[in-house]
């Protein structure tokens, strides 16, 4: 399932679920620009205007009843044990005839840091602008593994964070702002819940080194929705080397604890012994 929102610039935030034309105020200069007849995501503030249609959902609706204000790029529904899916623009085109905008920036999850215009060092920081957000839901409890590969120019090193739940905040949403920054003066830990000012997201796990070979694995509980935040890690700025990516989602059974196996084996032995004893008595 894919959002059909598209941007006019590679460095712009994609995944807006609504568009509006109410004018906007420059966050730096404070200058207000009146409505111009062009509907955009930022003007919607994520909660007003026209819904952007999706492909792969009934009637183009948002997936899984999503009603939050934050941007959302894709959703994956695992219907059975052993399910697997691919998320990419090519997959969207092949399945739905729409080349969805599935891309991220080299340092969206966590950039390489740098130096400010005044020469002050800037700690490695993640940014909302190019962080992609997706949802995963499984109908059965199973292990889910995420692998990622870039289709562009930045190297294959992704950061991925998994949250239990999805955004339920219906207030104004801004795509400007930072998140992952554990060494900033005011730390923003990698384990924070609701890092984008959302509601309903509880941190579950993260991995700083996801690629085509090294995956992030978590246990998806049947019926639970999980939010996936992803982007390039440590290989540039959020606006640099914006490129498409392909995500492979695979699943496996949740291992049964050894104690359960031992208990089951013991019970089977007792049942077998009881059967043999009855047979001996009957004889």
State in words which class domain 2-17+52-252 has.
mainly beta
pTM of the complete model: 0.87
Q: What ranges do the domains of the chain cover? A: 2-17+52-252, 257-283
- Which strand (E) or helix (H) includes residue 264? helix 258-282
Q: Please give the Cα distance from 226 to 220 (Å, whole number).
A: 8
Q: What angle do CA 127, 64, 193 make, to 5 degrees?
A: 35
Q: Is 160 helix (H, G, I), strand (E, B) or coil?
A: strand
Question: Residue 266's pLDDT band (boundaries 50, 70, 90)?
Answer: low
Give the chain's mean pLDDT.
88
pLDDT in tens, 125-165: 999 989 999 999 999 999 999 999 988 766 689 999 999 99
What is the greatest pairwise CA distance in the chain?
98
* Residue 262 pLDDT > 70: no
Q: What percent of the chain has pLDDT over 70?
A: 86
Mean pLDDT of 234-254: 87
**pLDDT per residue over 185-204, tens digit each?**
899 999 999 999 999 999 99
> pLDDT band at residue 81, thresholds of 50, 70 and 90?
very high
Mean pLDDT of 50-70: 97
Q: Is the predicted pLDDT of residue 222 greater than 70, yes or no?
A: yes
pLDDT for 267 beyond 60: no
Strand boundaries in 97-240, DSSP class E:
103-104, 114-115, 121-122, 132-138, 142-150, 158-164, 202-210, 216-220, 225-232
Between CA 218 and CA 206 the distance in angstroms is 9
Bridge partners, residue 158, by sequence: 210, 232
Quick count: other Cβ atoms within 10 Å of Cβ 123? Answer: 16
């Amino acid at each position: 399932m894919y959002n059909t929102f598209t941007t006019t610039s590679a460095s712009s935030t994609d995944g807006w679920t609504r568009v509006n034309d109410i004018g906007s105020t420059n966050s730096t200069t404070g200058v207000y620009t009146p409505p111009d007849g062009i509907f955009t995501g930022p003007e919607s503030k994520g909660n007003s205007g026209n819904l952007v249609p999706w492909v792969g959902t009934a009637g183009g609706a948002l997936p899984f009843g999503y009603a939050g204000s934050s941007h959302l790029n894709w959703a994956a529904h695992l219907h059975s044990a052993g399910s697997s899916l691919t998320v990419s623009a090519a997959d969207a085109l092949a399945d739905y005839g729409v080349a969805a905008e599935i891309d991220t920036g080299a340092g969206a999850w966590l950039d390489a840091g740098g130096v400010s215009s005044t020469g002050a060092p800037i700690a490695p920081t993640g940014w909302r602008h190019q962080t992609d957000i997706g949802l995963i839901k499984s109908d059965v409890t199973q292990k889910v593994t995420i692998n990622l590969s870039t289709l562009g120019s930045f190297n294959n090193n992704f950061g991925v964070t998994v949250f239990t739940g999805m955004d339920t905040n219906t207030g104004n949403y801004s795509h400007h702002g930072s998140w992952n920054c554990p060494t900033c003066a005011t730390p923003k830990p990698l384990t924070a819940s609701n890092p984008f000012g959302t509601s309903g997201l509880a941190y579950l796990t993260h991995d700083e080194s996801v690629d085509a070979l090294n995956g992030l694995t978590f246990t998806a509980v049947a019926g639970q929705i999980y939010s996936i935040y992803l982007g390039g890690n440590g290989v540039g700025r959020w606006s640099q080397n914006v490129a498409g990516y392909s995500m492979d989602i695979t699943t496996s059974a949740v291992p049964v604890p050894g104690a359960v196996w031992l208990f089951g084996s013991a019970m089977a032995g007792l049942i077998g012994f009881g059967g043999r004893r009855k047979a001996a008595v009957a004889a």
